[in-house]
Structure 1
Amino acid sequence: MTVDIVVFDIGNVLIEWQPERHYDSVIGKDRRKEMFAAVDLHGINDKVDCGAPFRATIEQATEDYPEFKDEILMWYFDWINMATPAIPHSVALMRALRAKGVRVVALTNFGIESFEFAETKYPFLTEFDKTYVSGRMGCVKPHSLIYEMLEAGEQATGAQFLFADDRQENINAAMRRGWKTHLFNGPSGWAQRLVFEGLLTDAEAAG
């Protein structure tokens, strides 16, 4: 079946998402390891990605772990420094697909406020034909519901989709629904896959 819709994850596909790297640069690796061992910040962020208010959720965590208050607040105040830089070749691939008339959508685990902020820093996030943002949808990858909601929104199923994501569990969930998938570990491999699927030429995929 021909691919009709290309689905991009955002974190670590279009924008690097490396909170630990930022913490290491500010507070040092030892303090970061100590804090992450005590505080499940990624788990707390999952609540934000499901639609919980960003600042209030992070501030609540400081009450639960007061010994790491300053470091936890960095997750809110320094957030954009953790979601950086953009991955230019991936952005170019998204634009090349759209220039050829291929429908391109985003499926991302992202909080409501943080995504709106990211759009101001990375204007290419506004260029998708449609964005499916977990915070707005009330569920996150790899739960099957978020894939079902995207299928309903696109009125398409199975191998009509080609989905790129950097997390194996998210890929597995899409594969169970019959989607074509690509485990993203860099834009060059993604470019090759788009050429293989006949969506771009070598020249168009070169970035």
Structure 2
Amino acid sequence: MPTQAVVFDIGNVLIEWQPERFYDRAIGAERRRAMFDRVDLHGMNDRVDLGGHFTDTIYATADAYPDWRAEIRMWHDHWIELAQPEIARSVRLLRALRARGVPVYSLTNFGVQSFDYAATHYPFLREFDRQYISGHLKVIKPDPKIYEIVETDSGIAPDALLFTDDRPDNIAMAASRGWQTHLFEGPDGLAARLVAEGLLNEKEAA
């Protein structure tokens, strides 16, 4: 079936998300490795993405690990530095699809407050036709429930949705539900896929 909507992940598709890289700069790789071995920071972030309050969740984790309190709070206090820069060509592709009249949706593991904060720095986050943000939905990828929500809310058949994400587990779940998928490994590959699907021409995808 022809594609009726393109569904974008955000982290590492439209915005680079590399917390380890930030901490390597901020505290050094050796200390960063020690902290990540001691504290499940990605699990903490999952709780935010499931709807936990951005500040409260991170600060409570920091208080639970006094030896790392200042460093854990950096996840909150320097959050935009963890989530940068934007992937400029991906943003151009998003906007080119919209200019073509192709509906574009977001399907992202993102907290409520952290998404709102990010949108003040990255205005394109408000440009989707529909937004499916895990913090509001209280479910994260790759739980099948979040894909079901997209299908039901959009009214689009799974095989008419083209989904791009950088994580193979998220892609695999979408594929298992019959979605068209593209594993994001860089904007050049996504551009080529959109051209191959007839959604953009070469000039629009540049």
- What TM-score comes out, normalization by structure 1 length? 0.98
Q: 2:60 corresponds to which residue?
A: 60
Give the letter aligned to residue 6 of structure 1. V
Q: 1:172 corresponds to which residue?
A: 172
Q: 2:51 corresponds to which residue?
A: 51
SS at match of 2:59: helix
Quote how far apart the aligned CAs of 1:98 are. 0.5
Q: Structure 2 CA distance, aligned partners of 1:56 and 1:23?
A: 21
Structure 2 residues not aligned, in runs of 5+: none
Q: 1:29 corresponds to which residue?
A: 29
Quote how far apart the aligned CAs of 1:159 are. 1.1
| Equivalent runs, 1:5-44 vs 2, <5 Å | 5-44=5-44
Q: 1:122 corresponds to which residue?
A: 122
Give the letter aligned to residue 80 of structure 1. I
Give the letter aligned to residue 92 of structure 1. R
Q: Structure 1 CA distance, aligned partners of 2:51 and 2:84?
A: 22
Q: Structure 2 CA distance, aligned partners of 1:56 and 1:36?
A: 20
Quote how far apart the aligned CAs of 1:84 are. 0.3
Quote how far apart the aligned CAs of 1:65 are. 1.3
Are 2:136 and 1:107 aligned? Answer: no
After TM superposition, where is structure 1 displaced by more than 3 Å over at least 4 residues in a row? none
Quote how far apart the aligned CAs of 1:60 are. 1.2
Quote how far apart the aligned CAs of 1:156 are. 1.3
Quote how far apart the aligned CAs of 1:157 are. 2.2
Q: 1:81 corresponds to which residue?
A: 81
Quote how far apart the aligned CAs of 1:13 are. 0.3
SS at match of 2:204: helix
Q: Structure 2 CA distance, aligned partners of 1:113 and 1:13?
A: 20
| 1:89-148 per-position Cα deviation (integer Å, ceiling 9, x unaligned) | 000000000101100000000000000011110001111101110000000000000000
Identical amino acids, percent of aligned pairs = 55
Q: 1:137 corresponds to which residue?
A: 137
Q: Structure 2 CA distance, aligned partners of 1:190 and 1:143?
A: 24
Query: Which deviates further from its counterpart, 54-63 or 30-39?
Result: 54-63
Q: Structure 1 CA distance, aligned partners of 2:97 and 2:54?
A: 33
- What TM-score comes out, normalization by structure 2 length? 0.99
Are 2:199 and 1:199 aligned? Answer: yes
Quote how far apart the aligned CAs of 1:174 are. 0.2
Give the letter aligned to residue 44 of structure 1. M
Structure 1 residues not aligned, in runs of 5+: none
Q: Structure 1 CA distance, aligned partners of 2:16 and 2:103?
A: 23
| 1:44-64 per-position Cα deviation (integer Å, ceiling 9, x unaligned) | 110000000111111111222
SS at match of 1:124: helix
SS at match of 2:114: helix
SS at match of 1:60: helix
